[in-house]
Chains A and B, each alone.
Chain A
Amino acid sequence: MGALGFFSSHELDTLETMVKIAFMNLNLKSKKFLIVEDLANMRKAIRELLYTLDVQHIVEAANGLTAIAAMKRERFDVVLCDYNLGEGKNGQQVLEEARFRKLLPYNAIFIMVTAEQNQSMVLGAMESKPDEDLTKPFNGQQLLMRLERNQTKKEFFANIEQAIEAENYSLAIQYCDSKLQEDNRKMHLHLQKIRAELAVNTGDFKKADNIYREVLAARELNWARLGLGVIAYLQNDYESAIDVFQKLIDSQPMMLEAYDWLAKAHEASGDYLNAQAALNKATNISPQAILRHKKLATLADKTGHLEIAEKAYRSAVNLGKNSVHKSSGDFSGLAKVYSKTNNSAAALNTLKDMRKQYVNDPEAELRAAALETEVYQQIGDEEMSEQAYRTAQELCEKLGDKIPNDLRMDVVKAHYLKGNDESANAILDQLIKNNIDDEHFIGNVKAMLGSIGSEHHADALIAPIKQALIEINNKGVDLFKRGKLLEAMRVFEEAAEIMPENKTIMINMIKILIYDLKKSGFNQHKFAKAQDLIKKAAKYGVNPDKIGNMLMQLEKMSAVNESKV
């Protein structure tokens, strides 16, 4: 018995020592903490807990808005955020916004505090993942251990993460490869995951495939299996991709990422109905992800399943109230669905709601005015329709080229409905020129013209532009192949004047510049030009793997140049 008594006190000693060691490794004195918690007495309890850990710099926020404001003011090392924050944003929305606005430095630790473990399981399936989750109630030692573990991990990956943040992929890969050589067992699998993602993001599918298969040979892990599907998808092998994602879902019915990719693969292969079905299932499992509702809404709108579209738009509008992904486009999307089902009253009401939420926002005003033009005409109120149309025209002048493409389509439709074919055609012509290589967009143009009974007009507009692009492209590529780089570049530059947002042309110009830099040596002017074009291409939605690949080729040249100097 005496021996057992000894164990007990001995254990106490070791526990205390553990805490002390953690103190020394972490030095929390210099760390800035943010507590996000709506209940005052809970905030107090956590603050007192932190004081016992020697934390000195503590800021408190009682809701999501003040939390975001605090993170904008200063950079925190640790954010302890409760998931349930009462009215307003929840913890997940705070995290999403903080990541989206880049308010969390790469080494910051975001800890989601949940009331039960169940909740954290649901959160694990969301797109923005916290670094850690803690279930209430938790004690100082639990917190310390999580902090220390994360700190060690963040330090280990620091240079890789910084390089990725700076979009210097070749450097990130270099760091990653050298760390893989170190053979750190604890970090190895995570390193492999990052290395594979880097390979995917720079278009090196063979490397990524090798890593995923190596991991899977040791163990069937979801992320590695998903990775194989993603690689197939990016190489346009939709059939294999669908097979991978479907099998993953069969064995892991809660893996939401797999549903999203399945939907993407179905959509890319032209099977909108199955894409819609996959997203519908995922939104039923986890109704909190706003981006998925948006995607589902546009898909269902396209397939004519207006009930599903209405429900999804409504969810997007509701979730948007507290989300960084709030958008006036969801309101107008919902209003359009109502207008299609001849529910004009609901359409007008939705636009009224939008105006309330977006005060002094010209884009939202324009969305409302363009749609009101249509809806009032629908119900035979010519006067109101005319007034809305005039407002829309004024706002168009004011906004100029800041109007997003989907909204420009609404404006085009309003012009047509008011018999102003000249203005409509001018905008549409430019839109088609910019997006002639985007099948989805061209599909939307056709659908819009179909809705006002001008299907034939679509072909008449689209066909010559497509032909012109093909000719320009052939001409440029031909010159390039014959080594006439300057002339080839000039052909694409001229084309870019006419269709400044066209992705095919941008990519071709970048390719010529990279080839030229490789062949005739480093040139600061060409280098900067290529950089600008890549940025522009990313902005207009060129696939990330293509962007990553071009960036990496460019970085390699700049690295070679620096080593020469």
Chain B
Amino acid sequence: MSTSPINNFPTILAASIHDIKNSLSTARELIAQLAKLDGVAETPEFRQLEFEATRMNSSLMQLLILYKIDSSLFSPVIDEYQVKDILDDVVAQQKGVLVLGGIGLIVECADDLYCYCDSGLINTLLNSIINNAQRYCRKTIVLSAYQSGDSVCFQVEDDGEGYPAELIADLSHPVANGPGNTGLGLFFAATIAELHGNGTKNGIVRIDNDSRFEGARFRLFLP
């Protein structure tokens, strides 16, 4: 029996993503070495380079996870976490890029807030949303979490122009929306939310432009 090339496409795609990711990590290591040269790290070009590399890595990571979910090779590992720890990790990861970009990241979270989730997945999700916010915000991003009924809500707000209307209309399908916006990040978030179920209730993602700065607001509710 001959296998149709089309049937194999997802597999080829996944293998290629792996391969590109390997190349990219070599490139990122080289970028990290470049940063040690005098005066390089502060230049806008270098910052842009670092940011784009991080963004590519994050997109590839999301594609790989989506591929695994799609081929039933993946299930989240749920445990209880202090929400503050999850947010602190994200802040630490984002620190370098944000400082260089002159962007303020404010964190708001009660110490005694806990949630059940796969912390690795939520970390990837939040980093991707914040990467995105960085591109569109002016100066400030607020990352917060709070109890909302029987769910915990993770919220990312920025002071940019907000999400385009088409995106807000339909979250369930990735939409191409001008260069540089495939909708992957939101599609990924919605998929991950779906995987976080408790009884009959699943996690959900909501986006709107009701941030406290009147910019974009992303909310992830985990039951």
Contact = CB atoms under 8 A, between A and B. Distances in A.
A219 B152 CA distance: 14
Interface in A241-259: 251-255
B80 A219 contact: yes
A128 to B, nearest CB: 16
Nearest to B138: A4
A181 interface: no
Contacts of B72: 253
A115 B93 CA distance: 15
A11 B106 contact: yes
B34 to A, nearest CB: 12
Given A124-B77, A149-B85, A253-B72, A117 B95 contact: no
Nearest to B85: A149
B25 interface: yes
A192 B112 CA distance: 19
Contacts of A142: 89, 92-93
A10 B104 contact: yes
Nearest to A12: B99
A255 B73 CA distance: 10
B89 A45 contact: no
B29 interface: yes
A11 B78 CA distance: 32
Residue among A124, A137, A138, A149 with the most chain B CB within 10 A?
A137
A15 B120 CA distance: 22
Given A8-B139, A252-B75, 19 more contacts: A4-B139, A7-B104, A8-B140, A11-B105, A15-B91, A15-B99, A42-B29, A116-B21, A118-B61, A118-B64, A137-B32, A142-B93, A145-B88, A145-B89, A149-B85, A219-B80, A251-B75, A253-B73, A255-B75
Contacts of B79: 189, 221
Interface of B: 21-22, 25, 28-29, 32-33, 61, 64-65, 68, 72-75, 77-80, 82, 85, 88-89, 91-93, 95-96, 98-99, 102-106, 112, 114, 116, 120, 124, 138-140, 159, 198-199
A141 interface: yes
Contact of A115 (B25, B32, B114): B25
A174 interface: no
Contacts of A285: 73
B77 A137 contact: no
Nearest to B197: A220
Given A7-B106, A8-B139, A116-B25, A121 B120 contact: yes
Indicate the size class of the contact surface on chain A. Answer: 35 or more
B87 to A, nearest CB: 11
B32 A45 contact: yes
14 contacts: A4-B138, A4-B140, A8-B104, A115-B22, A117-B124, A118-B68, A139-B92, A141-B92, A141-B95, A145-B88, A149-B85, A186-B82, A221-B79, A254-B73
A137 B28 contact: yes
Contacts of A9: 104
Interface in A25-75: 41-42, 45
Contacts of B65: 118
Interface string A9-21: 1111001000000
A120 interface: yes
Contacts of A12: 99
Interface string A183-208: 00110010000000000000000000
Given A4-B140, A5-B139, A219 B78 contact: yes
Nearest to A39: B29
Nearest to B112: A185
Contact of A222 (B61, B78, B98): B78
Contacts of A141: 92, 95
Contact of A139 (B21, B22, B95): B95
A321 interface: no
Nearest 6 A/B pairs, CB to CB: A7-B104, A8-B104, A4-B139, A141-B92, A11-B104, A142-B92
Given A4-B104, A7-B139, A137-B28, A116 B61 contact: yes
Contacts of B124: 117
A406 B138 CA distance: 71
A189 B104 contact: no
Contacts of A120: 120
Contacts of B32: 45, 137
Given A5-B139, A117-B61, A221 B95 contact: no
A418 B73 CA distance: 52
A219 B139 contact: no
A398 interface: no
Contacts of A136: 25, 28-29
Contacts of B74: 121, 254
Contacts of B198: 219-220
A214 to B, nearest CB: 13
A118 B121 CA distance: 10
A142 B90 CA distance: 9
A136 B138 CA distance: 29
Residue among B77, B89, B96, B112 with the most chain A CB within 10 A?
B77
